[in-house]
Amino acid sequence: MSFTTNGLVCGHHHLYSSLARGMPAPPQTPTSFLSVLENVWWRLDAALDLDIIYWSAALGAAEALLNGTTAIIDHHESPFAIEDSLSIIQSACDMVGVSSNLSYGVTDRWTGNTMSSAVDTSSKMTEEARRGLAENERFIRSGGRGMVGVHAAFTCADDTLHAAADLAKQLGVGVHIHVAEGLDDIDAGQRLQSLAQDDWLIVHAVHLKEKLNGTLAHNPRSNMNNAVGYAHPTKWPNDVILGTDGIGADMLEEVRIAYVRQRESDITASPEDAWQWLSNGEKFFPEVRNDVVTWSYDHSDSPWHVAFTPGIRCTSVSRNGELLVSDGQPTKFDMNEIRAKAAEASTTLHERLS
Ligand SMILES: [Zn+2]
């Protein structure tokens, strides 16, 4: 038993969604997963600019650190602020002190100012997708830690999927992609099977039928929130990591949800599975093994104890011998300032969505 753990890893995040909380109601109430994307997330990402992206990422990264999460794999989209967006997110994560692995999610659903979710898979790559790939390439070639991001197969032409896979190979990194999250993306496995490599990050895989190479990112709370179904991550031989899909970065909370979601239909399920998924994130960020996170609970390293103890708080975080959180408060940045700037940015963002 111990009060301490390593730094925790959020294996799939959307830091741009930190300011979505409290956003105006969508024009129509979504009645399907695709309609959630169309009415909420694709309206939100189109309203982002670089200033909003920075404060959204700073808030999300700060909330992660205060929950003992010292590393984040992020998937970003901002179709009207593509260039430099990954560097902006990195600077926010650096300011807070968390490690990051960033991707820009390319898609063919935009042509100029027109958005269409019905993408012809045999069409040529759009200029918008080309710009997204260029942002991934610019960021990674300039020394940024990242993967090549793809939104999802169902919003991309085959031409774009191949170009993303080729670019990732050239850069020596994987592809970070949503796969079969909803039934709209049911063909994803088939379309990606010849492309996916061991270094790919396959996110969701709720309706995946074919085995794909790569690590699976399981996001149990988000999947429930979007009513897409249970992903049954244990049915695949792949390594599984745990993500939040943009709903904060409280990873002990995500472990509890992953466990209880698994247990809901399997009385033999053990929280040791969810704990393993959390630990597997360390392969993307070996440095978190040197972090020391102290918790308000003396069995914070025990899956069975954590699964049944809601409300465990992070009291301190030490990285590279430096105390980044002390008595639950950040030592290197001003949380009140981040909250104030994020509130200003969210006012601008929400006005654009009204
Ligand atoms: Zn996601």
Cβ–Cβ under 8 Å, residues 317 and 288: no
| pLDDT over 70 percentage in the chain | 100
Q: Where are the alpha helices (DSSP H) in 188-280?
A: 188-192, 220-225, 251-263, 271-280
Residue 125 within any structural domain of the chain = yes
Residue 310 within any structural domain of the chain = no
Residue 325 within any structural domain of the chain = no
Residue 151 within any structural domain of the chain = yes
What average pLDDT does range 100-128 have in this prediction?
A: 94
Amino acid at 101: N
Q: pLDDT tens digit string along 118-139? A: 899 999 999 999 999 999 999 9
What CATH number does residue 272 fall under?
A: 3.20.20.140
> Which of residues 70 and 115 earns the better pLDDT score?
70
- Weakest-pLDDT range from 5-19, 54-68, 115-129, 133-147: 115-129
Q: Give residue 158's domain range.
A: 9-288
Judge whether residue 62 has pLDDT over 90. yes
Whole-number average pLDDT of the chain = 97
Query: Given pLDDT bands bounded at 50, 70 and 90, which one contains residue 117?
Result: confident
Amino acid at 188: A
**CA distances to 148, 215, 239 from 211, in Å:** 21, 11, 12
φ, ψ dihedrals at 340, nearest 5°: -65, -45
Amino acid at 174: G
**How remote is the CA of residue 75 from the centroid of ligand 1, in Å?**
7
Q: For helices 85-96 and 127-141, give the axis angle rounded to 10 degrees.
A: 40
Residue 279 within any structural domain of the chain = yes
CA dist 297 and 304 (Å) reads 13
CA dist 209 and 308 (Å) reads 33
Residue 36 within any structural domain of the chain = yes
Amino acid at 187: D
**How remote is the CA of residue 309 from the centroid of ligand 1, in Å?**
27
φ, ψ dihedrals at 323, nearest 5°: -85, 110
CA dist 286 and 99 (Å) reads 10
Query: ∠ CA 66-98-277 to the nearest 5 degrees?
Result: 80
**How remote is the CA of residue 204 from the centroid of ligand 1, in Å?**
8
What the block records as the tokens of 18 is 């930190």
**How remote is the CA of residue 8 from the centroid of ligand 1, in Å?**
19
**How remote is the CA of residue 151 from the centroid of ligand 1, in Å?**
8
**How remote is the CA of residue 12 from the centroid of ligand 1, in Å?**
6
Q: pLDDT tens digit string along 154-188? A: 999 999 999 999 999 999 999 999 999 999 999 99
CA atoms within 13 A on the CB side of 223: 29
CA dist 227 and 222 (Å) reads 8
Query: In 3D, which of 116, 108, 93 has the Cα closest to residue 150?
Result: 108
**Residue 112: predicted pLDDT:** 87
**Residue 113: predicted pLDDT:** 87
The pTM for the full model equals 0.98
**How remote is the CA of residue 312 from the centroid of ligand 1, in Å?**
26
**CA distances to 21, 100, 285 from 73, in Å:** 21, 6, 9
> Where do we find the tokens 């730094």?
7
Length of the chain: 354
**Residue 27: predicted pLDDT:** 87
Residue 312 within any structural domain of the chain = no
**How remote is the CA of residue 152 from the centroid of ligand 1, in Å?**
10
Q: How many domains does the chain have?
A: 1
**How remote is the CA of residue 352 from the centroid of ligand 1, in Å?**
23
**How remote is the CA of residue 205 from the centroid of ligand 1, in Å?**
11
Amino acid at 36: V
**How remote is the CA of residue 178 from the centroid of ligand 1, in Å?**
6
What average pLDDT does range 75-94 have in this prediction?
A: 98
Residue 57 within any structural domain of the chain = yes
**Residue 311: predicted pLDDT:** 96
Residue 7 is classified by DSSP as P
Q: pLDDT tens digit string along 305-318? A: 999 999 999 999 99
Amino acid at 172: G
- Cβ atoms within 10 Å, residue 317: 27
